[in-house]
Amino acid sequence: MYRKQTFAVPDISNGNVQPGESNGRLSQASYKQPAKPEDRVILKKKVTLLRGISIIIGTIIGAGIFITPKGILQNTGGSVGMSLIVWTGCGIISLLGALSYAELGTCIQKSGGHYTYILEAFGPLPAFVRVWVELLVIRPASTAVISLAFGQYILEPFFVHCEIPALSVKLVTAVGISVVMVLNSMSVSWSARIQIVLTFCKLIAILIIIVPGMMQLIKGETQHFTNSFLGNGVSVMGLPLAFYSGMYAYSGWFYLNFVTEEVDNPERTVPLAICISMVIVTVGYVLTNVAYFTTISAEELLLSKAVAVTFAERLLGDFSLAVPIFVALSCFGSMNGGVFAVSRMFFVASREGHLPEILSMIHVRKHTPLPAVIVLYPLTMVMLFTSDIYSLLNFFSFARWLFIGLAVAGLIYLRYKRPDMHRPFKVPIFIPALFSFTCLFMVSLSLYSDPVNTGIGFAITLTGVPAYYLLVIWDNKPRWFRKFSDETTRVLQVILEVVPSEETQRS
């Protein structure tokens, strides 16, 4: 099922399959060859600088900054000053990681993000384990969680005086997920355009909080900043956990690297988009938290379920009803950006022979990686309606930073392994060294502070090792299995109207 093969080519140009011409796959030669080069069935370079910035900002800014900044405040002992330092520090550390990814994205101009960089530096086994965990649990669970926030806040204005029924939230969430999947399946351009619009909505939402907050400061509302470094005291375990929460809030800066092959002029666009986005997000996050404390005390913030809503109710009056809508749009943008980017990881992993071949195929007219997009849909829906998603995220939150740290460590390794590699953008070596150390430190901390959940997640991650040998290395699979795999791929190609990319066939 996971082996690269060469296949004959029945005709699917009009949906008809000619029998007896293939051993199970339908290839590009069967599709009527396009008269114009721009009509070739490949992923087009449609990600400009503005779209790149919108992917990064639009994916980083989700529900967290509007709902639960109290995680950092809790772990800094209720100290307002220390929490603001942590927000700033997490932005700086994330910028170091983003700069490291900018170098990786310009010297390894392939899509796939973490997967591709680990594959280039350390080989196929750790790369397969990364994509295995991402496909089975991390991405479906992450998508379901941010989608639930979307469902909750899009319904908030309609249930002002009563509790929102849980089933209603899940049904609206399911509609939101479906819309995102359809959008990413139908058009790269429209997905990117909508992401730009949603990114502007996110920035407007932040400005709705920042501007009144700055006006409060001008009026002298600084009482909550008095003795701002006093609190219950920062514990040795609390401060690293505060940074862990902050790094999670900033996560998403790496998503442009998942679509490098679709970026126009990546040597210029990738570093610029990353640097501009991280500056905007860091300044926005810090000023948003400053704005909160002009109106809400540390004690009140810790008791709030959605601090942005609490802030808006106190300062904005009737206009506060608009805040849940902006939060919902922010969540929708994170959903859209995440699906757009991560589907390319699955596309590249399939192209490398690590996932079923159908996932590396492209729609003959839409030029989207349709199978790689919709593969997440059933798993996400199952988790949405049946699983304790938040527990799953606790199990696997450490895996994200483990593999990101490994990918950045791979940058250091490649400096010595391949010193002559073309590096149009190069960072000082201390930047990836400090960032990878920070990631591995957080992973070690999670093993110490929550050994049960982290240990379960680690054990499930290790299932990727036998899966690699069973699904990738083992060539002598039973004939019935190979036949079933080939027929399944063939049927899915006809149903989805997808064929291998022309670039894939030539490689």
Predicted TM-score (pTM) of this structure: 0.84
Reference 490, options 3, 14, 2, 19; nearest CA is 19
- Domain limits, the chain: 37-506
> Are the CB atoms for 240 and 441 separated by under 8 Å?
yes
- At 165 the three-state DSSP class reads coil
Ramachandran quadrant class, 61 (left: phi over 0; alpha: psi -120 to 50; beta: rest): beta
How would you write the pLDDT of the chain (507 residues) with one tens digit per residue?
444 433 333 444 444 444 434 445 665 555 555 545 555 656 667 788 888 888 888 888 877 787 667 778 887 878 888 888 989 998 999 999 999 999 999 999 888 888 999 999 999 999 999 999 888 888 888 888 888 888 888 888 888 777 888 888 889 999 999 999 999 988 878 888 888 888 888 888 888 889 988 998 888 887 877 777 766 666 666 677 787 778 878 888 888 888 888 888 888 888 999 989 999 999 999 999 999 988 888 888 888 777 888 888 888 777 777 888 888 888 898 888 888 888 989 999 999 999 999 998 988 888 888 999 999 899 889 888 876 666 666 666 778 888 899 999 999 999 998 988 888 889 999 999 999 998 888 888 777 767 777 777 788 888 999 999 998 898 888 889 889 988 999 999 999 888 887 655 444
Rounded (to 5) percent helix, strand, coil in the chain: 75, 0, 25
> Are the CB atoms for 432 and 367 separated by under 8 Å?
no
How far apart (Å, rounded) are the C-alpha atoms in residues 118 and 154?
A: 38
- At 52 the three-state DSSP class reads helix
Q: Which CATH architecture has domain 37-506?
A: Up-down Bundle (1.20)
How far apart (Å, rounded) are the C-alpha atoms in residues 58 and 202?
A: 7
Q: At what angle do helices 376-386 and 166-186 cross, to 10 degrees?
A: 170
Written as one string, the DSSP assignment of 401-430 is HHHHHHHHHHHHHHHHH-TTS--SS---TH
> Are the CB atoms for 293 and 224 separated by under 8 Å?
yes
CB-based contacts of 42, cutoff 8 Å, min separation 6: 362, 367, 501, 502, 503
How far apart (Å, rounded) are the C-alpha atoms in residues 124 and 44?
A: 27
Reference 291, options 29, 66, 86, 112; nearest CA is 66
How far apart (Å, rounded) are the C-alpha atoms in residues 210 and 187?
A: 34
**Alpha helices (runs of H) in 370-388, residue ranges in sequence order:** 370-374, 376-386
